[in-house]
Amino acid sequence: MESINYQNFRIDAENICVDYNGKVALYDANLRLKPGQICGLVGMNGAGKTTFFNALTGFVNISKGKIRINGESLRSAQKDQTIAYVPQNEGIDSQFPISVWDVVMMGRYGSMNIFRCARESDVQAVKDAIERVDLIDQLSTPIGNLSGGQRKRTFLARAIAQRASILLLDEPFSGVDIRTEKLISELFIQFKNEGKTILLSTHDMIHVREFCDLVLLINKTVVAYGETSEVFTPENITTTFGGISPDFLFGPES
């Protein structure tokens, strides 16, 4: 039997199970992603998408299975700043008294000393990241005064400043304006060319077809996983969404 070289995979989640006080949220889920791959995570509300992200960031402990990041443990991936998480707009306190600059600087915290003093290189990384998301004129704006799209871009900038090779994005396109959507699309292409690995959850079929090389359909466990063209079929989608047809979910054109 051919032995698997785990270092080939950026993300290798094997049979992971997560339960919250005995209530199963995700079971026997598998995922393998290589550098430069973009994978869509699709499922109903409560199907375990956020739980999957929580497991991959180490925010919840998995009760069974194994997660390897670049062939190493999750803990060493955290130490190396390998994974960046971009939350949903609803997932953050928008009234928190903090500026765009300070949020993006948080992307550098993991590589700073204990006082989190910014070095010259950190300041440059933050500046570059904010430039890439086109928010340079909003540096000191409190996040509460930003639009949904600008807020999304702020958190993308944090992930860029972190220089993570794996990006986990929870609903990156929800609640954003056209300009932000276009900017995120362009960033995805750049990230792919830079060899970053992206896992994004979305409710939008068109985005899956447009950006994702791979798609992971989940409903508490993996319903189907593979190349988008092969896996993203009406039958699989119907199974994922508990028997509801894709026409009903996304309109007849899709």
Q: In this structure, what is the dihedral angle of CA atoms 203, 205, 206, 211, given to the nearest 10 degrees?
A: 80
Break the chain down into helix, strand, coil percent, rounded to 5. Answer: 40, 25, 35
**CB contact at 8 A, 25 and 220:** yes
d(CA 215, CA 200) in angstroms, rounded, equals 10
Number of residues that bind other proteins (CB under 8 A): 33
Beta carbon nearer to other proteins, 16 or 205: 16
For residue 66, state whether it binds other proteins (rule: CB under 8 A): no
Q: Given candidates 7, 8, 15, 96, which one binds other proteins under the rule CB under 8 A?
A: 96
Site for other proteins in 15-34 (CB under 8 A): 21
Rg of the chain (C-alpha set): 18
21 phi and psi, to 5 degrees?
Answer: 50, 50
For residue 248, state whether it binds other proteins (rule: CB under 8 A): no
Q: Given candidates 40, 43, 48, 107, which one binds other proteins under the rule CB under 8 A?
A: 107
d(CA 14, CA 254) in angstroms, rounded, equals 32
For residue 201, state whether it binds other proteins (rule: CB under 8 A): no
For residue 98, state whether it binds other proteins (rule: CB under 8 A): yes
User: Considering the complex, what minimum distance in angstroms separates the CB of residue 167 from other proteins?
Assistant: 11
Q: Which has the closest alpha carbon to 49: 245, 216, 248, 209?
A: 216
Site for other proteins in 138-197 (CB under 8 A): 142, 144-145, 158, 162
Contact footprint for other proteins (CB under 8 A): 21, 54, 57-59, 75, 78-81, 83-85, 87, 92-93, 96-99, 102, 106-107, 109-110, 114-116, 142, 144-145, 158, 162
